[in-house]
Amino acid sequence: MERNRLFWGSRRGMLELDLILLPFLENIYPDLPQDDKERYWELLECEDQDMYAWFINRENPQNPNLQRIVDIVRANTGLQKNT
């Protein structure tokens, strides 16, 4: 997916998601393996409320592919779950 489309797809209706996804896109996404990049594209098709709940550890996605990319985002944006 071209960078411009990724940028606009990562701009969401919630400021909180913009603050998570845009730095992730800039700093982490370029070095992801292709499979994880494709998972990110799939993530961008999800609803904002779902993504926000996943990122703040309120819920987890049922889809294992989405869970993997959510875990990567959490680990690289300071949103990992404290145990």
Average pLDDT, whole number, for the chain?
Answer: 91
Rounded to an integer, what distance in angstroms lies between the CA atom of residue 57 and that of residue 36?
20
Q: What is the residue extent of each domain of the chain?
A: 3-76
pLDDT at 81 over 90: no
Q: Identify the helix (H) or strand (E) that includes residue 18.
A: helix 15-27
DSSP 8-state assignment for residue 14: S
Give the residue-averaged pLDDT of 29-47: 97
- Written as six digits, the tokens of 61 are 């996605």
Rounded to an integer, what distance in angstroms lies between the CA atom of residue 28 and that of residue 78?
13
Give the residue-averaged pLDDT of 43-53: 96
Give the residue-averaged pLDDT of 51-67: 96
Q: Does the domain spanning 3-76 belong to CATH 1.10.150.250?
A: yes
Give the residue-averaged pLDDT of 4-16: 90
Q: Model's pTM, two decimal places?
A: 0.88
- How high is the pLDDT of residue 40? 97
